[in-house]
Structure 1
Amino acid sequence: MFFTGDPSTRKRVDLGGRSSKERDRQKLLEQTRLERNRRLWLRQQNAAAVKIQKCFRGWKVADAERSTMRERFYGTYGQCCENV
């Protein structure tokens, strides 16, 4: 941010060309807060979905590998050695 000569440290809110009346400003700030919360919620939902998919895919791969190993064992030793 460039120095504008204004010594105040108060953050400025871009009102996007809207009126700077206090009521409009409060409404805009509330809307911005709601949007931020919505984006946070979406990020959390996506992260949760990724974790669920990761667990499911891991289980699916492990199950497929287990089946492959079982078939290989049956092919080598037959089903009579199953309880050894």
Structure 2
Amino acid sequence: MADRFEGTATGLDSPGRKIAQVTSGVDLAAGPCRALLVGTAGTATVVDIEGNTSTNIPLQQGYNPIRVTKVTFGTAADIWAIY
């Protein structure tokens, strides 16, 4: 199917173009994401795009608009990176 929006510039406020399942404790293979989609709410340790590590970050079920390069699951689970 043709992408009607292929020629449209995408920004951080645009819908994601790709999703990838996050593996706990492993750098995101596609680099920094634009957001996280969380299936089970809870906490996680994240590394942001500047390399700062933050622990026990609460993640809500659903869309979390944070740009990270790595997620280590605490009580949160079923996490997907949106690009």
TM over 0.5: no
- TM-score, length-normalised on structure 2? 0.18
Indicate the structure whose relative CO is greater, using CA pairs within 8 Å and at least 6 residues apart.
2
Q: Which has the larger radius of gyration?
A: 1
- TM-score, length-normalised on structure 1? 0.18
* Structure with higher strand content: 2
